[in-house]
Amino acid sequence: MRRMRNVKVVATLGPASDSYGIIKQLYEEGVDVFRLNMSHGAHSDMRDRYQMIRDIERDLGRPICILADLQGPKLRCGVFANGKETIVEGQDFRFDLDDTPGDATRVQLPHKEIFEALEVGATLLINDGKLRVVVKEFGPDYAVCEVKVGGEISNKKGVNVPELILPLAALTEKDKKDLEFVCSLGVDWLALSFVQRPEDVEEARALADGRAAIMVKVEKPACVKAFDDVLAVADGVMVARGDLGVELPVQDVPPIQKRLVAASRRAGKPVVVATQMMESMIESPVPTRAEVSDVATAIYDGADAVMLSAESAAGKYPIEAVKTMHAVAISVEADATYRTGIEATRSTARDTVADAITAAAREIAETTEVKAICCFSSSGTTALLAARERPKVPIIALTPKIGTARRLGLVWGLHCVQTGEVGRFKHAVVSAARAARSHDFATNEDKIVVTAGIPFNTAGSTNIIRVAPVDEKSIFEGEAE
């Protein structure tokens, strides 16, 4: 099953997409990566969904990528004696550690770490930023705040502290249990919430111990400020616009998104644009024009993937949402200005032999009649470099490891194929030719570009390139085998 587009589609599974038949249809209509949201559902639910995906993978004969999204710390206020209260602009309102039910003047905030990090003048946002208060005075167990934007506050509403780095680890005890569970299942990516510093990524990596790649969710201002350092230790990035739009002025989110996508592309690390992409399709069979433009913008910028959240997990029209996102991607990538933008923003860094080889592969493919670039890669490094180039021709990522084939399913333009082990470059060329034919990328009359690293099974060793015929009889013509 070959996709006729380069950008990948991520879809979240949930009550609306919880059967073999629906998940299979979602894949057939365009989903490349399935997201398991660990904030919702028991481990038994996740196990069942995971197994259905792997059954579909087996039945269709295509590697499928699975991403598990860890919840991270959730900061919430306590409960109110009346269930809810209304606070008004100009009044004082107190947060403290006392678990007595709250009233119109105070409520519990059961996170001592917040009080430890507070400063006078710091802003607290409540209920996704609908209410805003500013700290007037505080101690180790309380904060008196002035209400700047009032409204209704009710039980367990979320609290954001955008201006401060909180002394909270990105992984809670629940997250650690969830991480171990999904890694034991065999997921391909872990999305890490509440990242503020590179050390948060390193902790998750140590716990994953090579069993899954680490994707950083950029949703905190602190992560935006430290992005270069965070990106250096991450395997991928998710631009989580929802939380960013709460903790930062909404007008700041679009330029931040563009910067993060561009930086990730330069680094050759996959980047997903997520949150509220087609949110109206939770209730409507068609998106708004603004949502279509939002998805298109991410694709024009060269993002590796765009993501559906509640649209596919809990919405009324999960299939239609996937079809629409797929159709938008096809339309954008067919636009001449798409290629103009992609080429104008391509990284020109050529620091290594591997960089030069993959750049040469793209240039050869784009100036000759070559039908595809075929990357033979055990670890995935060669394929990631090829995708960073954003070539005009398709990329076939060949690997003997099913885990690598699955993980690379998130990456722009990669059509992943599991092959047998090879020990010689000529045998890799033969495998590439067979894959190009069997997956309808080329015929015996065509040529392909093949790149690989010698010796095989050495990460980052891309050092050889060949323009080869697809006809196997011609591969060894005139050469001793």
Backbone angles phi, psi at 159, to 5 degrees: -125, 130
- Spatial contact of 472 and 430, defined as CB atoms under 8 Å apart: yes
Helix H or strand E encompassing 292? helix 289-300
- Spatial contact of 235 and 269, defined as CB atoms under 8 Å apart: yes
Give the mean pLDDT of 338-343. 95
Give the mean pLDDT of 218-230. 96
Q: Which of 5, 35, 241, 466 is catalytic?
A: 35
Has residue 89 got a pLDDT over 60? yes
Range of the domain at 365: 353-475
User: Residue 271, exposed/middle/buried by CB under 10 A (0-12, 13-18, 19+)?
Assistant: buried
pTM above 0.85, yes or no: yes
Cα–Cα distance for residue pair 427/374, rounded to 1 Å: 13
Q: Which of 106, 132, 217, 406 is catalytic?
A: 217
Helix H or strand E encompassing 166? none
Structure-token pair, residue 318: 């999960």
Is 297 a catalytic site residue?
no
Asked if the structure places residue 344 within a domain, the reply is no
- Spatial contact of 292 and 328, defined as CB atoms under 8 Å apart: yes
Q: Which of 3, 54, 76, 323 is catalytic?
A: 76
Is 86 a catalytic site residue?
no
State the sign of the Cα–Cα–Cα–Cα dihedral 139, 144, 145, 150: positive
- DSSP assignment of 36-96, as one string? EETTSS-HHHHHHHHHHHHHHHHHHT---EEEEE------B---BTTSEEEE-TT-EEEEE
Cα–Cα distance for residue pair 137/146, rounded to 1 Å: 10
The CATH number given to whatever domain includes residue 104 is: 2.40.33.10
Is 217 a catalytic site residue?
yes
**End residue of a domain, out of 115, 133, 160:** 160
- Spatial contact of 29 and 319, defined as CB atoms under 8 Å apart: yes
User: Residue 103, exposed/middle/buried by CB under 10 A (0-12, 13-18, 19+)?
Assistant: exposed
In total, how many domains does the chain have? 3
Q: Which of 275, 381, 404, 451 is catalytic?
A: 275
Residue 347: the pLDDT is: 81
Asked if the structure places residue 29 within a domain, the reply is yes
Q: Give pLDDT tens digits for 100-159.
A: 999 999 999 999 999 999 999 999 999 989 999 999 999 999 999 999 999 999 999 999
Is 172 a catalytic site residue?
no
**End residue of a domain, out of 131, 160, 189:** 160
Asked if the structure places residue 211 within a domain, the reply is yes
Asked if the structure places residue 345 within a domain, the reply is no
Q: Give pLDDT tens digits for 399-418.
A: 999 999 999 999 999 999 99
Residue type, 148: K
> Domain check: are 359 and 443 in the same one?
yes
